[in-house]
Amino acid sequence: MQPPIDHRPGAQIYGRAVFPHAHLTGISGLQPHEILFLLDEAEQWIEANRTRAKSDRRLDGLTQINAFFENSTRTLLSFEIAGKRMGADVVNMHAAQSSVKKGETLIDTAVTLNAMRADVIVIRHMSSGAVQLIADKVDCPVLNAGDGSHEHPTQALLDALTIRRRRGAIAHQRVVICGDILHSRVARSNILALTALAAEVRVVAPSTLMPAAIEKMHVTPFTDFDAALEGADVVMMLRLQNERMSGAFIPSTREYHLNYGLTPARLARAKPDALVMHPGPMNRGVEITSSVADMPGRSAITEQVEMGVAVRMACLDVLTRRARGVEGWA
């Protein structure tokens, strides 16, 4: 098979790079064709990751800093693997062991990372808008790995890629997103990406976990999970954070499971071949039962993880093309 290529014909529109953005801070602000371009770029890495010797040296000599101000295992690992597979020197900075704890401001941290001549910075932060704040202060591309309740763009891209590969298309798919919509950056980025690509999106949550005016984002809100599931092509469950489970937003995990847990009986309301997704990590027995999470042919949960690496490779590749002087991107 062909080795992955750095850029393909059609990577330019009207003489400009098809993906003109310096950073990836969110799905908001991306055009549908730009989202599709990133998905197309990711496709090539899926096969490469599966079959050939997993080494590509295009990011050779570049320094990728993963600055994670909020704990994460899988997203951090995914970004680290993505960078290393393309030859980047990957450095992880954890908030727990950083000077952030000593009162250094976010801007000072950003300036410091910039002064170390990072070539790409991946950031996760607990405050909405924090990644944009850093992106405005540094010279290299910044990738948002999740900021507060705002956005988590690579998650939305990997979810869209999973849906496209498993369902054949994204347009006109009925996607049901169920869980803590109020606090979920995954939900927001997915809503933006899926509606941009013409999917029909339904969001399901108890009213205590549903943000105001969510219908302005062109989705249909439901409090009744069963009703929302009718005719669904994709059922995307969200993780319920521990601190929100006991009384503050919902009475108990038991009651949450009763109304919003994805069980085999409930899944039967969706289309017979409906896809089950979860961004992980799962609370088995709370938002999803193990039999559904592990259902062969229906659950795409491990595939999502695989797509995550491919999508993050594509994003790192695309965002560094200008600095690497790739033809058509300089």
Q: Which residues are annotated as a binding site for carbamoyl phosphate?
A: 74-75, 124, 152, 155, 280-281
Instruction: Give the residue ranges of the annotated binding site for L-aspartate.
Output: 102, 185, 239
Residue 216 CB, nearest approach to other proteins (Å): 4
Q: Give 44 or 184: the residue with its C-beta nearer to other proteins.
A: 184
Residue 206 CB, nearest approach to other proteins (Å): 16
Cα 144 from Cα 79, distance rounded (Å): 11
Cα 124 from Cα 128, distance rounded (Å): 10
E strands along 3-82, which residues? 12-13, 16-17, 63-68
DSSP string, 176-214: EEES-TTT-HHHHHHHHHHHHTT-EEEEE--GGGS-TTG
DSSP string, 128-156: TTHHHHHHTT-SS-EEEEEETTTB-HHHH
Task: Please report, as a single letter, which amino acid is at residue 192.
Answer: L
Instruction: Give the residue ranges of the annotated binding site.
Output: 74-75, 102, 124, 152, 155, 185, 239, 280-281
Residue 70 CB, nearest approach to other proteins (Å): 12
Residue 117 CB, nearest approach to other proteins (Å): 23
Cα 99 from Cα 103, distance rounded (Å): 7
Q: Is residue 86 within 8 Å of 61, Cβ to Cβ?
A: no
Residue 64 CB, nearest approach to other proteins (Å): 23
Cα 138 from Cα 116, distance rounded (Å): 11
Cα 170 from Cα 181, distance rounded (Å): 21
Q: Give 149 or 283: the residue with its C-beta nearer to other proteins.
A: 149
Residue 287 CB, nearest approach to other proteins (Å): 20
Q: Is residue 178 within 8 Å of 228, Cβ to Cβ?
A: yes
Residue 107 CB, nearest approach to other proteins (Å): 5
Q: Give 99 or 290: the residue with its C-beta nearer to other proteins.
A: 99
Q: Which residues bind other proteins (CB under 8 A)?
A: 28, 105-107, 125, 127-130, 132-133, 147-151, 183, 185, 188, 211-214, 216-217
Q: Give 159 or 180: the residue with its C-beta nearer to other proteins.
A: 180
Residue 16 DSSP symbol: E
Cβ count within 10 A of residue 138: 21
Q: Is residue 195 within 8 Å of 217, Cβ to Cβ?
A: yes
